[in-house]
Structure 1
Amino acid sequence: MLKNDYKHKVQYYETDQMGVVHHSNYIRWFEEARVEFMEWCDMGYAKMEEEGIISPVLEANAKYLKMVKFGESVLIRTTIEEYDGIRLTVSYEIVNEETKEVCCTGYTKHCFIGENGKLVSLKRANEAFHQMFLAELKK
């Protein structure tokens, strides 16, 4: 398991009557993995918000490849795909832990805004966060 792998065990409430994960849960899993990843990078959402920086989701996309069922565990690999100081794209790959099959891929796009709701450049607003995103982008 890599540092950017988030493990999730499928819960019963996440499935439909056939025991298959409902499609909406994959987007929730993206968020769980992203929050964990950001905390691992020492720039968690709570820390950002303490600094007056908010990062709303602008777009979410998921491509469903294989079914995931109740009781299975998945690893969600999170990667910083694009970052320009104002906008951020995070990609995800959901892999069945047992079979190693890729079940879903996707991405979310974000921006950074201040408490006033206006776009913020992290390079100007918080150089430390900016440098951390740049460092993760290169990996």
Structure 2
Amino acid sequence: MATKYSFKVRWGDTDPAAIVFFPNFYRWMDEATHEFLTELGLPTSELIEKEKIGAPLLESNCKFKTPLVFDDEAFVITEVAEIHNKVFKLSHTFYRGETFIAEGFTLRAWTSFNGKPKAITIPQEIREKLKAHQKADLVAQTN
């Protein structure tokens, strides 16, 4: 099951040619990640404040196919690509309507912020929530 995060390209998101400046795709992947966690019932603000848990970014990448421009309405589809002991990888696919725009990923560590930040094992209940949002083609490969 995937989650969808919609946004509108603002003037400040673009370069002088009114084309989206590439770092904004990374910002939108980050925003989509936090929306994704909220949909799982794991709002980042509550995780950090109440449980001293976060999912900081370890790695990110994005490949661009078609540009977005000022005033475009777009969305990102976020799914779980991989789940490991302490880290998980999310895939992010960008669209404008039916047009494929870009695809990327974010790799994050399940991290305790009690004292010095330290990656910890993803709890089983969280792992199950992540598995429920794993890409269908990846689930078929692992079964």
Question: In 2, distance between residues paired with 1:129 and 1:51?
Answer: 13
Question: In 2, distance between residues paired with 1:70 and 1:8?
Answer: 12
Question: In 2, distance between residues paired with 1:4 and 1:135?
Answer: 11
Matched residue, 2:105: 107
Matched residue, 1:53: 53
Which structure 1 residue ranges, 5 or more long, are not aligned?
Answer: none
What are the within-5 Å matches in structure 2 for residues 1-139 of structure 1?
A: 4-49=3-48, 50-97=50-97, 100-115=98-113, 116-123=116-123, 127-137=124-134, 139=136
TM-score by length of 2: 0.86
Question: In 2, distance between residues paired with 1:107 and 1:56?
Answer: 14
Given that residues 2 and 79 in structure 2 are in contact (C-alpha distance below 8 angstroms), is that contact kept between their aligned partners in structure 1?
no
Tell me how far 1:3 sits from its aligned partner: 6.0
- Aligned partner letter, 1:64: F
Tell me how far 1:47 sits from its aligned partner: 2.5
Tell me how far 1:26 sits from its aligned partner: 0.3
- Aligned partner letter, 1:104: A
Tell me how far 1:67 sits from its aligned partner: 0.7
Given that residues 85 and 130 in structure 1 are in contact (C-alpha distance below 8 angstroms), is that contact kept between their aligned partners in structure 2?
no
Question: In 1, distance between residues paired with 2:16 and 2:85?
Answer: 44
Question: In 2, distance between residues paired with 1:86 and 1:65?
Answer: 32
Matched residues, number: 133
Identity %: 22
Question: In 1, distance between residues paired with 2:38 and 2:104?
Answer: 20
Q: Deviations over 1:52-111 (max 9, x none)?
A: 2121100010001101000111110001111123101000000012xx111110001011
**1:33–1:134 distance in 2 versus 1, CA, 3 Å:** same
TM-score by length of 1: 0.88
Which structure 2 residue ranges, 5 or more long, are not aligned?
Answer: 137-143
